[in-house]
Amino acid sequence: MELREKIAQAQRIVVKIGSALLTNDGQGLDVARIGLWVAQIAELKAQGKEVVLVSSGSIAAGMKRLGFVTRPTQVNELQAAAAVGQMELVGIYESHFEKHGLCTAQILLTHDDLSNRRRYLNARSSLRTLLGLGAVPIVNENDTVVTDEIRFGDNDTLGALVANLVEADALIILTDQQGLFDKNPRDHQDATLISYISASDDGLEAMASGGAGVLGSGGMLTKVRAARLAARSGADTLIASGREEDVILRLSAGENLGTWLLPEHGPIAARKQWLAGHLKSRGALTLDQGAVKALRKAGSLLSVGVKDAEGTFSRGDMVICVDESGGLVARGLVNYSVAETLKLLGKPSGDIGEILGYEGEPELIHRDDLVII
Ligand SMILES: Nc1ncnc2c1ncn2[C@@H]1O[C@H](COP(=O)(O)OP(=O)(O)O)[C@@H](O)[C@H]1O
Ligand SMILES: N[C@@H](CCC(=O)OP(=O)(O)O)C(=O)O
């Protein structure tokens, strides 16, 4: 059997489960099947991998509870269904994960949370902390506070943005089809499964434009676009059938199942490109020799090694890091504003809470947010 070695190495994985799959043909949530996916995620955790689950299903579950026979079209009714269904959804996950001794966390996100730099950093910090503590974050869109214009609408996009957020190695999208076919298999009997393809292949949209199922909202189009988004931070995307036995474990072990959408660049190159291309520097930090050495050994930047700060930066902005003779050392996304940074110069991380009056991140710039020049 040919193995997808790169996938087998993935340490941090986002698993997205769609509505089409989570429900028994619209008859509420498929509790037994959810138990099977949870058992697989528990096994991945036992292998030392980190998993973030992005789960749809709140609207489908709420529809059943509220007695809607077909999916409501009005936004306020969809929101009501989502609010009711989300309770049931997370309850089912929590009770299944508990059987494996795992703790879950509910994260509800909106588009604004991920486009606003400050909220983005806060969401990322919560997710990182939860992963560090061994919990399984369960993410869905915060449907009750969003309207049509600002919705992700489909959780494929949300899954990809979460993969960017946590810098996942892989995004697994489980759906009701074997993967991406060259045309919609519901309408074409001769459709053939694509085993692997570049996430930036020009032909993807044409293949995937065959519409969605009854309960799902995005179809394959949002899945291939999600793969493209995930590729921005170097993540591989896998699209496969959630009904296949042990699908999550087999995909994560590198088995050739479903469709593998490959990013053009690896995570580091993708991140460097993003930092280099998309952000303007808002200030500069002057580092002492110890800090320069630490950064070159892949460490984070701590305030104790920073001698000066200038510019107009806020939390989340990009700054350049220079050595004492002005030589460029790195670029990175800073966790504190210039006013806060000036108060922290030369101070150990343990003093941050006392100096600023609240406990923030221990690093001025986390190593994941640094690109060494
Ligand atoms: N090229 C294609 N390959 C596979 N499925 C396709 C393709 N084009 C359209 N589809 C449709 O996409 C559907 C899956 O998307 P969707 O219904 O949104 O599910 P989910 O809720 O899992 O996101 C499939 O059931 C299928 O009808
Ligand atoms: N956030 C909503 C809708 C998400 C949705 O339909 O997504 P998907 O099934 O992935 O196309 C829910 O949980 O029902």
183 annotated to a ligand binding site:
no
Amino acid 150: pLDDT: 58
Provide the token pair at 317.
């902005």
Cross-sheet strand order for the sheet of 281-287: 306-311, 281-287, 318-322, 328-333, 370-372
User: How large a percentage of the chain has pLDDT more than 90?
Assistant: 66
Q: What is the pLDDT of residues 133-183, one digit of tens each?
A: 999 999 999 988 887 655 666 899 999 999 988 989 999 999 989 999 999
- Distance from residue 334's CA to the centre of ligand 1 (Å): 40
Residues 6+ apart with CB under 8 A from 318: 275, 279, 280, 281, 282, 331, 332, 333, 334
Lookup result for tokens 């919609």: 184
CATH topology of domain 279-372: 2.30.130
Average pLDDT over residues 212-235: 82
pLDDT at 292 over 60: yes
Residue 65, φ and ψ in degrees, nearest 5: -60, -40
Amino acid 240: pLDDT: 97
Residue ranges covered by each domain of the chain:
5-270, 279-372
Provide the token pair at 239.
């699209």
Ligand 1 mutation pick, 24, 178, 184, max ligand atoms within 8 A of CB: 184
Q: What is the pLDDT of residues 335-348, one digit of tens each?
A: 999 999 999 999 99
pTM of the model: 0.81
Ligand nearest to the backbone CA of 213 = 1
Give percent helix, percent strand, percent coil of the chain, each to the nearest 5.
45, 20, 35
Question: Rounded to 5 degrees, what angle do the CA atoms 299, 53, 43 make?
Answer: 85
The dotted CATH code for 5-270 is: 3.40.1160.10
312 annotated to a ligand binding site:
no
Amino acid 279: pLDDT: 60
Question: Rounded to 5 degrees, what angle do the CA atoms 234, 240, 243 make?
Answer: 145
- Distance from residue 197's CA to the centre of ligand 1 (Å): 17
Ligand nearest to the backbone CA of 56 = 2
45 annotated to a ligand binding site:
no
> Cα–Cα distances in Å, from 140 out to 75, 92, 108, 157, 354?
17, 14, 5, 11, 35
Same fold, 5-270 and 279-372: no
Average pLDDT over residues 90-118: 91
Ligand 2 site residues (CB inside 6 A) read 18-20, 56-60, 82, 140-141, 143, 154-156, 216-218
Q: What is the pLDDT of residues 254-266, one digit of tens each?
A: 999 999 999 987 7
Q: ipTM value of the model?
A: 0.96
